[in-house]
Amino acid sequence: MRLEEAKEIIKSESLEDYNINLDHEIEAGEIVIVGKDGKWKVGIANDRAEIVTTSIREFNAEDEAVDDFLFRLRRLNEIKAIRLKLFGTNDAMV
């Protein structure tokens, strides 16, 4: 899957907390995907808005990176929905 297709999926599924090619300053809890010179990296930011080194996966193919990015983003949004349902908040500190 290409990144442009992923953007459409993100929009249609109303997914939140992502950063594509560092289009804005990294925020806490975001799933981040960066592609440069045919290499791709996907990772997650911690509560200090720093990429967790152990969360980074590197890919040589855009489709594999995008699949991983969407998988992580969907799981993050599922967890947020569960927190909201159980605790009335998306705050990870609950």
Average pLDDT for the chain:
95
Give the residue-averaged pLDDT of 11-23: 97
Q: What percent of the chain is modeled with pLDDT above 90?
A: 90
Decide: 32 and 18 in contact? Cβ < 8 Å: yes
User: What does the alpha-carbon distance between residue 4 and residue 9 come to, in Å, rounded to a whole number?
Assistant: 9
Calculate ∠ Cα 32-36-37, nearest 5°. Answer: 155
Answer whether residue 90 shows pLDDT above 80: no
What are the boundaries of each domain within the chain? 3-87
User: pTM, whole model, 2 decimals?
Assistant: 0.92
